Chains A and B, each alone.
Chain A
Amino acid sequence: MRRPDGQAKVRGEFSYAGDLHAEGMLHGVTLRSPHPHARLLRIDTAAARALPGVHAVLTAADVPGDLHFGLTLRDEPVLADGVVRYAGEPVAVVAAIDPRTARRAARAIVVEYEPLPAQTDPTLAADAEPLHAEGNVYRHLAYECGDPRARGVVTVENTYRIGMQDPAFLAPEAGMATPTADGGVRLEVATQWLHSDQRQIAWATGLPPEKVQVVLAGVGGAFGGREDVTLHTHACLLALATGRPVKMEYTREESFLAHRQRHPGTIWLRHSADASGRVVSVEGRVVLDGGAYASTSPVVIANTVTLLQGPYRVDNGRFEGWSVRTNNPSCGAMRGFGVPQAAFAHESQMDALAAALDLDPLEIRLRNALRRGDTATFGQRFTQPTPVREVIEGLRAVPLPPAGGKLPGGVGRASSPGSVRRGVGYAVTMKNLAFSEGHVDESTATVSLRDGHATVHCACAEVGQGFVTVAEQVARTVLGADTVTVTQPDTLIASAGSTSASRQTMASGTAVHRACVAVRDRLLARVARERGLDAGLLSIQDGAVTCDGTPLVDVAAATPGHTVRATEHFAHPPTTALGQGDVYVGFAFSAQRAVVDVDVELGLVSVVQIASCQDVGTVVNPTQLLGQIEGGIVQGMGLAVMEEVVVVDGHITNPEFQDYLIPTIVDAPEVVSVYVTDPQPGMPHGWKGVGEPPLCTAVPAVAAAVRDATGLPLPSVPIRPEHIALGIGTPPTVTRTTPRPPATTGGTALSEEPADRPGTWESEGAAGH
């Protein structure tokens, strides 16, 4: 089945948030801080207000409700309050008759700043002067399992660095707020999570949530970057202040400044293994730079730390992590949500172990592969299918691409064939699915059927992933509907949660499925009643109501003029806090092999092919599944060798596509995708989330291939040309250790107290004796 929104999209008729228009609408713009850290001494808006065409100028003093918002901690001001904590923080917003007048008014606002020292080193944040009343540590967590001091014959350790990645969805943030007759406000906006926006807007406006309607406008990509509120609240405040519709639309540069990035991080890992390559113990420490405000930093750090073990059995270990506040750009959700960072580090370690023991990289992974029934380092048992071996074996069966092909570089960057080396690298990862740590993962859908036409209403945000296709497929399959309308998501129905965490096919897909089943059963009951039949013998097949296999009547003609409707809810079984049981709803496993050509003189990389074998559950839509795999792989490749938001002294130096390089069609590798299709328990037909694993795996796979081609350690991503050409990067420390069996076995012990500050890494190579 093709995408139901496809025809409008290829014609350019599909309406995105930036295309919104209303008669008499005003345009909102934002005045942002030029300083990463400064005291606000004075704001004078008189000159801006006096400009003809200006309808409102708002500062923190004009926010009628609670000034603070946030997805976890409510630590972020809607507009700066006495101090700015990152370069680009909103200080004031303006509404005027046209964008140019609004921009001119923003420039006319006089702000006196007293610049303060910018605290931009995340490893120093915990001990630095607090940047906020909430302190500088968003979350610290630490736990042990078994005996972390257990050792095998070889121990490898290194420190890995992951750069900041921008979601870089192609449609910059946009939305339009309109005052409603009941004194409330209606916001049409490109978002991932309508009800979270609604709640946070209600805080700031002081309105009850039911007077804040959020409606999904067309979304041009999201990838996590639309999970947080940006212009949403500002547009609503301006609309309420002026009594007119107010449209806001960011420029590309503003988009870089305003939305949350993927956390840059530093990860230290020490793995010890026995002579056969079996991992005996793992110790790891993580520092993620959360930037100025919390966003989802407390949740992301748990993903990174708990998944440091990778898809491998680890009985003995010690894990610790911090996500911290700095004066750098705020970080939050991006596809993978903390796991690409962990994956890059643990897969680099597996390759280092394999090299130290002279083992094949896939062989060492097979020897350590998790199995169903194993227990994770954080205490959760893998009770669902755990096809780690299967994805590795599936990958191994894919043939290698032929030698040759185009040279790395491209126009104007000529590689010479003599300096090009081919490399092959492998990675296997584990990604948690759905919300975690006790956050309820749920959705609700209403389905109605009338004369063969089904209507699906759900607050699940379609951001390009294809939920509308899935919803229509389900309605056609279960109800035999001729035509299906998926209505625009809004907050008139209960929350569907965020379009994130690879969760919507599982959560909203299941809610839609349940509602369709309820509608079907009501329809069949009615037909049975009218015809004096046993409802138990009736079913829907090929668009017809059948009795014991014999067609009775078309669905479209079964109950003429009568609407059958049902609303159904779905929630995954509850998860628990870390250390208390099942932290995660489930997991997906993925193996990839990257083949690269590297010009070792110029440091240029061409990713030739990526083969993927992923644990995807029962396939819902093969075409869209492949799209998710390919898209995730290319974004992961971007993080591995191209993309980095470069922050110098708290300022983003490359907030545009000229200098922030997202992969083009020429950069995109060939993708060969095969699957393991073990049905996911508890889901209709065994569906499973698929969106994030390909990105998580591509980062370490590409890095491993470049290492294979160059022989360099390359402990940082993105790998830049100078890392290759100049050989920058410290190799892992390899220590031959005296085997020491674990003194204790089993059990996970949680500690929230920091054992050390994040800056004081243990000296490399010193442990194990």
Chain B
Amino acid sequence: MDAEISLRVDGQAHRLTVDTRTTLLDAMRERLGVTSPKKGCDHGQCGACTVLLDGERQLPCLALAVAHDGAEITTADGLAPPGELHPVQQAFLDQDAFQCGYCTPGQVCSAVAVLDEVARGWPSHASTDLTADPELDHDEVSERMSGNLCRCAAYVNIVPAVQQAGGRS
């Protein structure tokens, strides 16, 4: 069964007809040519496809496109104008927080959302005080970034990258 939906991806409006079984990830990658979100597992286990969906980080491989008609999606490619870098992207570059780079668009989107979640005061499993404002310390950053696998294991540099982008040196 097909359905017609509209999506706004990185500021660009799209109208498309999709089989209702199509994931949001496949709709972006195969139908819209948006390849910034990567497919590492297609099962919600690696985080490589992480995007900002209506402002929150989500895994489009676990979402059906038809369930997100009218959604506003930002991928790593849409975080900054062409040729420029979002502070999180700049920090990943500065801290050498990647090697092969395949997980990086997802890591970057996750990190953007982490900084937003911390700014809003949301606690995590690593927060010792659930009512205090979370600090961007090592354990907080690690816990919040733990849904994004990096097989090259640039983890040791991802933590300071997120801290740098969050204004903590």
Residues of A within 8 A of B (CB): 2-3, 5-7, 9-16, 18-19, 21, 168-172, 219-223, 251-252, 406, 410-411, 463-466, 623-624, 626-627, 630-631, 633-635, 656-658, 662-666, 668, 670-671
30 A-B residue pairs with Cβ-Cβ distance under 8 Å, sorted by A, are A2-B93, A2-B96, A7-B93, A10-B85, A11-B36, A11-B77, A11-B85, A12-B35, A13-B36, A18-B39, A19-B29, A21-B33, A169-B102, A169-B151, A170-B48, A170-B103, A172-B39, A172-B40, A221-B99, A252-B45, A406-B139, A464-B100, A626-B156, A627-B157, A630-B153, A631-B154, A657-B45, A662-B149, A665-B142, A668-B156
Counting chain B residues whose Cβ lies within 8 A of the other chain, the interface size class is 35 or more
Given known A-B contacts A21-B33, A170-B151, A656-B41, A12 and B105 have beta carbons under 8 A apart: yes
Chain B contact residues, majority secondary structure: loop
Query: How far is the CB of B27 from the nearest CB of chain A, in Å?
Result: 13
Given known A-B contacts A220-B101, A656-B45, A658-B43, A631 and B37 have beta carbons under 8 A apart: no
Which A residues touch B159, using CB under 8 A? 665
Which A residues touch B153, using CB under 8 A? 630-631, 633-635, 663, 668
Roughly how many angstroms separate A439 CA and B46 CA in the complex, as a whole number? 37
Residues of B within 8 A of A (CB): 29, 33, 35-43, 45-46, 48, 75-77, 79-80, 85, 89-90, 92-94, 96, 98-105, 108, 125-126, 139, 142-143, 145-146, 148-159
- Of all A-B residue pairs in the complex, the 6 with the closest CB atoms, nearest first, are A464-B100, A12-B36, A220-B102, A9-B101, A12-B105, A634-B153
Report yes or no: A634 in contact with B155, Cβ–Cβ below 8 A: yes
Report yes or no: B40 in contact with A171, Cβ–Cβ below 8 A: yes
Query: How far is the CB of A30 from the nearest CB of chain B, in Å?
Result: 16
The one of A220, A635, A656, A657 that contacts B100, using a Cβ cutoff of 8 Å: A220
**Minimal Cβ-Cβ distance residue in A for B89:** A10
Which B residues touch A7, using CB under 8 A? 85, 93
Given known A-B contacts A10-B93, A12-B105, A19 and B45 have beta carbons under 8 A apart: no
Report yes or no: A10 in contact with B100, Cβ–Cβ below 8 A: no
Which A residues touch B45, using CB under 8 A? 252, 656-658
Roughly how many angstroms separate A212 CA and B153 CA in the complex, as a whole number? 35
Residue with the greatest number of chain A CB neighbours at <10 A, chosen from B90, B92, B150: B150
Given known A-B contacts A12-B104, A16-B102, A627-B157, A411 and B152 have beta carbons under 8 A apart: no
Roughly how many angstroms separate A624 CA and B100 CA in the complex, as a whole number? 12
Given known A-B contacts A9-B98, A18-B38, A170 and B142 have beta carbons under 8 A apart: no
Which B residues touch A19, using CB under 8 A? 29, 35
Roughly how many angstroms separate A650 CA and B158 CA in the complex, as a whole number? 38
Which A residues touch B100, using CB under 8 A? 169-171, 219-222, 463-464
Report yes or no: A665 in contact with B105, Cβ–Cβ below 8 A: no
The one of B39, B79, B93, B154 that contacts A630, using a Cβ cutoff of 8 Å: B154
Query: How far is the CB of A147 from the nearest CB of chain B, in Å?
Result: 44
- How many A-B pairs have beta carbons closer than 8 Å: the answer is 167
Given known A-B contacts A12-B75, A220-B101, A664-B146, A630 and B38 have beta carbons under 8 A apart: no
The one of B35, B42, B90, B125 that contacts A251, using a Cβ cutoff of 8 Å: B42
Which B residues touch A626, using CB under 8 A? 96, 156
Report yes or no: B149 in contact with A627, Cβ–Cβ below 8 A: no
Report yes or no: A464 in contact with B85, Cβ–Cβ below 8 A: no
Given known A-B contacts A3-B96, A630-B156, A631-B153, A16 and B38 have beta carbons under 8 A apart: yes
Report yes or no: A220 in contact with B43, Cβ–Cβ below 8 A: no
Residue with the greatest number of chain A CB neighbours at <10 A, chosen from B104, B108, B145: B104
Which B residues touch A221, using CB under 8 A? 99-100, 102, 151-152
Report yes or no: B146 in contact with A665, Cβ–Cβ below 8 A: yes
Further 10 A-B residue pairs, CB within 8 A, beyond A170-B46, A252-B45, A665-B158: A2-B96, A7-B85, A10-B93, A11-B36, A12-B75, A221-B152, A411-B125, A464-B101, A656-B45, A657-B41
Report yes or no: A631 in contact with B85, Cβ–Cβ below 8 A: no
Chain A contact residues, majority secondary structure: loop
Roughly how many angstroms separate A13 CA and B90 CA in the complex, as a whole number? 15
Which A residues touch B48, using CB under 8 A? 170
Which B residues touch A464, using CB under 8 A? 98-102, 152
Which A residues touch B155, using CB under 8 A? 630, 634, 663-665, 668
Report yes or no: B43 in contact with A12, Cβ–Cβ below 8 A: no
Query: How far is the CB of A626 from the nearest CB of chain B, in Å?
Result: 8
Given known A-B contacts A634-B153, A656-B45, A170 and B40 have beta carbons under 8 A apart: yes
Roughly how many angstroms separate A466 CA and B152 CA in the complex, as a whole number? 12
**Minimal Cβ-Cβ distance residue in B for A463:** B100
Query: How far is the CB of B140 from the nearest CB of chain A, in Å?
Result: 11
**Minimal Cβ-Cβ distance residue in A for B156:** A630
Roughly how many angstroms separate A635 CA and B108 CA in the complex, as a whole number? 22
The one of A170, A411, A663 that contacts B102, using a Cβ cutoff of 8 Å: A170
Report yes or no: B77 in contact with A13, Cβ–Cβ below 8 A: yes
Which A residues touch B89, using CB under 8 A? 10-11
The one of B29, B38, B125, B151 that contacts A168, using a Cβ cutoff of 8 Å: B151
Report yes or no: A11 in contact with B99, Cβ–Cβ below 8 A: no
Residue with the greatest number of chain A CB neighbours at <10 A, chosen from B36, B96, B103: B96
Which B residues touch A21, using CB under 8 A? 33
Query: How far is the CB of B103 from the nearest CB of chain A, in Å?
Result: 5
Roughly how many angstroms separate A7 CA and B94 CA in the complex, as a whole number? 10
Roughly how many angstroms separate A3 CA and B97 CA in the complex, as a whole number? 11
Query: How far is the CB of A455 from the nearest CB of chain B, in Å?
Result: 22
Which A residues touch B36, using CB under 8 A? 11-13
Roughly how many angstroms separate A143 CA and B41 CA in the complex, as a whole number? 45
**Minimal Cβ-Cβ distance residue in A for B99:** A464
**Minimal Cβ-Cβ distance residue in A for B103:** A170
Report yes or no: A664 in contact with B149, Cβ–Cβ below 8 A: yes
The one of B29, B150, B152 that contacts A665, using a Cβ cutoff of 8 Å: B150
Which A residues touch B126, using CB under 8 A? 406
Which A residues touch B80, using CB under 8 A? 11
Query: How far is the CB of A415 from the nearest CB of chain B, in Å?
Result: 14
**Minimal Cβ-Cβ distance residue in B for A251:** B42
Report yes or no: A9 in contact with B125, Cβ–Cβ below 8 A: no
**Minimal Cβ-Cβ distance residue in A for B98:** A9
Report yes or no: A10 in contact with B150, Cβ–Cβ below 8 A: no
The one of B38, B43, B99 that contacts A656, using a Cβ cutoff of 8 Å: B43
Report yes or no: B149 in contact with A657, Cβ–Cβ below 8 A: yes
**Minimal Cβ-Cβ distance residue in B for A27:** B30
**Minimal Cβ-Cβ distance residue in B for A462:** B100
Roughly how many angstroms separate A665 CA and B33 CA in the complex, as a whole number? 30
Report yes or no: B76 in contact with A11, Cβ–Cβ below 8 A: yes
Roughly how many angstroms separate A342 CA and B96 CA in the complex, as a whole number? 32
Query: How far is the CB of B7 from the nearest CB of chain A, in Å?
Result: 17
Query: How far is the CB of B150 from the nearest CB of chain A, in Å?
Result: 7
Query: How far is the CB of B168 from the nearest CB of chain A, in Å?
Result: 17
Roughly how many angstroms separate A411 CA and B142 CA in the complex, as a whole number? 13
Given known A-B contacts A223-B151, A623-B96, A671 and B46 have beta carbons under 8 A apart: no
Query: How far is the CB of A530 from the nearest CB of chain B, in Å?
Result: 39
**Minimal Cβ-Cβ distance residue in A for B109:** A12
Which B residues touch A219, using CB under 8 A? 100
Which A residues touch B46, using CB under 8 A? 170, 252, 657
The one of A16, A252, A410, A664 that contacts B41, using a Cβ cutoff of 8 Å: A252
**Minimal Cβ-Cβ distance residue in A for B92:** A10
Given known A-B contacts A169-B151, A657-B149, A662-B149, A252 and B40 have beta carbons under 8 A apart: yes
Residue with the greatest number of chain B CB neighbours at <10 A, chosen from A7, A466, A633, A664: A664
Which B residues touch A670, using CB under 8 A? 156
Query: How far is the CB of B12 from the nearest CB of chain A, in Å?
Result: 15
**Minimal Cβ-Cβ distance residue in A for B141:** A665
Given known A-B contacts A663-B153, A664-B149, A15 and B35 have beta carbons under 8 A apart: yes
Query: How far is the CB of B76 from the nearest CB of chain A, in Å?
Result: 4
Roughly how many angstroms separate A662 CA and B146 CA in the complex, as a whole number? 12
Which B residues touch A657, using CB under 8 A? 41, 43, 45-46, 149
Roughly how many angstroms separate A171 CA and B149 CA in the complex, as a whole number? 12
Report yes or no: B35 in contact with A10, Cβ–Cβ below 8 A: no
